[in-house]
């Protein structure tokens, strides 16, 4: 039961990052678009699926709460403010999604809200990941840091890195869903975003060496982890070639492979810890009776139905904006 729920949690988090990642990325890139027709095309590309994507964030929270309550309590104590900012950003962009279509004089306000909410949500997610990599102060199973202990230069750089990563996902999504000038603009963005992201990753690695983070010792203990950066390099080459040849689907697959490799690196590096070097999986797991009770409801029915719904939704709305026009 513990391994089952840990696997489901990892799957739901990864699915959220990939699915909500591209529509958050579109929201961030929305701020770079000036023409109204371009902005309508960007919103129309994510309009049918964006709210379903965020459902997987709720799934992850529910699994943490029910299956790993100690991790849930510790993370929410440590990340109270970042989570509030993240949820506020998600709510703001959701409201702006609907209101900008009705507004006339104040449309610019909702445009800023849509872009700003996407940026804040993505940045806070990256910050929280950065803090976990850097090391969360935990004492006797409780968070031992300050209210602003999550705010550090390393975490900020990780937040910026995830914003760039989501933007790259968003640009690849626009290549797949748009046509003509909009698609060409997205093609031009991809190499620029990839170059800046690569430079930022180098800076983050150098800072990690300077801080002598404990996570670095894991790479020496587990040399097979170097396989994942190799996958990232191969994916970057595929991305460059596919953009040069104007492929439609390949850029997205290459960026998704990079995210999957990064996620696997993070998970395997810290195994068997759920909160790095503080709380192990066995310590965090709820009693077997609770895990089994959850299995017969959420595990056996709710999650499969959600997955089927997601697959059908993306199948129905496949194709470009021209094929599936939106009211936006």
pLDDT digits (tens, 9 = 90+) for 64-122: 888 898 888 888 888 989 999 999 999 998 888 888 878 777 888 888 999 999 999 99
- Whether the pLDDT of residue 156 is over 70: the answer is yes
Average pLDDT score over the chain: 86
Asked whether the bond before 272 is cis by omega within 30 degrees of 0, the reply is yes
Q: Are 67 and 290 in contact (CB under 8 A)?
A: yes
User: What is the mean predicted confidence (pLDDT) over 194-199?
Assistant: 92
What's the domain count of the chain?
A: 1
323: in domain: no
Check which CATH number belongs to the domain holding 113 and give it. 1.20.1630
Domain containing residue 76: 2-316
Can you give the pLDDT at residue 215? 78
**What residues contact 164, with CB distance under 8 A and at least 6 apart?**
193, 196, 197, 200
User: What is the mean predicted confidence (pLDDT) over 11-29?
Assistant: 92
Can you give the pLDDT at residue 325? 44
218: in domain: yes
Residue-wise burial string across 185-205, b where 16 or more C-beta atoms lie within 10 A, e elsewhere: bbbebbeebbeebeebbeebe
Q: Are 328 and 40 in contact (CB under 8 A)?
A: yes
85: in domain: yes
Lowest mean pLDDT among 125-129, 186-190, 323-327: 323-327
**DSSP state at residue 287:** P
326: in domain: no
> How many C-alpha atoms does 274 have within 13 Å on its Cβ side?
25
Beta strands in the chain (DSSP E): 138-139, 142-143, 273-275, 279-280
Can you give the pLDDT at residue 320? 67
Determine the Cα–Cα distance for residues 281 and 4; give it in Å rounded to an integer: 12
Angle (nearest 5°) at CA 158 between 273 and 119: 120
User: In this structure, are strands 138-139 and 142-143 parallel, antiparallel, or unpaired?
Assistant: antiparallel
**What residues contact 323, with CB distance under 8 A and at least 6 apart?**
none
250: in domain: yes
276: in domain: yes
Can you give the pLDDT at residue 321? 61
321: in domain: no
Cα-Cα-Cα-Cα torsion 214, 219, 222, 225, nearest 10 degrees, comes to 130
Can you give the pLDDT at residue 218? 79
224: in domain: yes
Determine the Cα–Cα distance for residues 162 and 37; give it in Å rounded to an integer: 27
Determine the Cα–Cα distance for residues 312 and 306; give it in Å rounded to an integer: 10
Confidence of residue 323 (pLDDT cuts 50, 70, 90): very low
């Amino acid at each position: 039961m513990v391994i089952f729920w840990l696997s489901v949690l990892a799957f739901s988090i990864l699915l959220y990052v990939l699915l909500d990642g591209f529509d958050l990325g579109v929201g961030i890139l929305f701020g770079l678009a000036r023409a109204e027709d371009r902005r309508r095309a960007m919103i129309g590309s994510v309009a049918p699926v964006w709210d379903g994507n965020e459902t997987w964030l709720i799934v992850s929270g529910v699994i943490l709460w029910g299956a790993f309550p100690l991790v849930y309590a510790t993370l929410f104590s440590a990340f109270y403010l970042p989570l509030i900012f993240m949820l506020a950003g998600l709510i703001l962009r959701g409201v702006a999604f609907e209101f900008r279509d009705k507004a006339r004089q104040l449309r610019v306000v909702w445009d800023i809200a849509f872009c700003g909410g996407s940026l804040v949500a993505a940045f806070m997610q990256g910050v929280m990941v950065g803090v976990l990599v850097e090391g969360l102060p935990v004492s006797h199973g409780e968070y031992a840091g300050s209210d602003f202990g999550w705010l550090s230069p390393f975490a900020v750089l990780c937040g910026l890195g995830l914003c760039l990563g989501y933007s790259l996902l968003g640009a690849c999504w626009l290549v797949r869903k748009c046509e003509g000038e909009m698609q060409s603009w997205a093609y031009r963005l991809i190499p620029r975003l990839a170059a800046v992201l690569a430079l930022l990753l180098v800076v983050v690695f150098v800072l990690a060496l300077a801080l002598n983070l404990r996570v670095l010792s894991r790479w020496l203990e587990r040399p097979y982890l170097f396989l994942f950066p190799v996958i990232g390099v191969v994916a970057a080459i595929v991305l460059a070639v596919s953009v040069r040849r104007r492929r439609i689907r390949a850029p997205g697959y290459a960026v998704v492979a990079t995210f999957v490799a990064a996620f696997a690196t993070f998970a395997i590096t810290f195994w068997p810890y759920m909160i790095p070097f503080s709380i192990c999986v066995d310590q965090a797991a709820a009693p077997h009776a609770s895990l089994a009770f959850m299995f017969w409801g959420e595990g056996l029915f709710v999650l499969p139905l959600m997955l089927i719904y997601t697959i059908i939704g993306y199948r129905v709305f496949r194709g470009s904006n021209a094929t599936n026009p939106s009211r936006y």
